Amino acid sequence: MRQTYSSAQAEKGDKVICPVEGTVIEVNENTPFLEIGNKKYYICCRSCAEKLKADPGKYLEDEFKLSDEEWRQRLELEQYEIMRQKGTEQAFTGKYWDHKEKGVYRCAACGLPLFSSHTKYDSGSGWPSFFAPANEAAVINRPDDSHGMERIEVLCRRCGSHLGHVFGDGPKPTGTRYCINSAALDFDKADE
């Protein structure tokens, strides 16, 4: 079985990411899909199909291969500096570091669901901290030796934006701490 993150190229048995919800789907003969242009995009449910059909540019990877100038126009200054220039907001200043509402944290650049409030905890670091992503396929972990430190950078899988770093000092059950910049996140509150 191959693992791919571009559902437009998927074959039976591949694992893909729903472009709307970010969940992992194993492609089989019953997996729902939409044809857009000459490509097939697998989705996890009817609701996602409706969202994708209504606004494909919002959810498809190709939409997020932008030039530096396009990113500057799309993002606020702080978001651009953090997400495209690998900056960091000051501790205890971001809007989500002490945020306690229930819901989903999405990438501020492309909308991909990244983290759930169920995995958020107070690490004392001053940044939003999560012990796991919404699903492992939503983020990319990459070695980062900038600033004379050895760390693991966290990137959004869909648009490649810098989110923060992941460390091995988190709580159970994973033992990891995803330390994420608030400016890299948007939040969707859960329905009551």
Burial track 160-175 (b if 16+ CB lie within 10 A, e otherwise) = bbbbbbbbeebeeeee
- Verify that 147 and 75 share a domain, yes or no: yes
pLDDT truncated to tens, each residue of the chain (192 aa)? 344 445 556 778 888 878 787 778 888 888 888 877 667 788 888 888 888 888 776 677 655 778 899 999 989 999 999 999 999 999 999 999 999 999 999 999 988 889 999 999 999 999 999 999 988 778 989 998 887 788 899 999 888 999 999 999 999 999 999 999 999 999 999 876
pTM, 2 dp: 0.73
- Verify that 106 and 182 share a domain, yes or no: yes
- Verify that 52 and 101 share a domain, yes or no: no
Q: What is the rounded distance in angstroms from the CA atom of residue 97 to the CA atom of residue 183?
A: 10
185: its two tokens: 């996140």
Query: Is residue 179 annotated as part of the catalytic site, yes or no?
Result: yes
- Verify that 109 and 144 share a domain, yes or no: yes
Residue 2 counted as domain residue: no
Q: Which of 18, 110, 156, 179 is catalytic?
A: 179
- Verify that 14 and 93 share a domain, yes or no: no
Write out the residue range of the structural domain in which residue 28 sits: 7-59
- Verify that 101 and 123 share a domain, yes or no: yes
- Verify that 83 and 135 share a domain, yes or no: yes
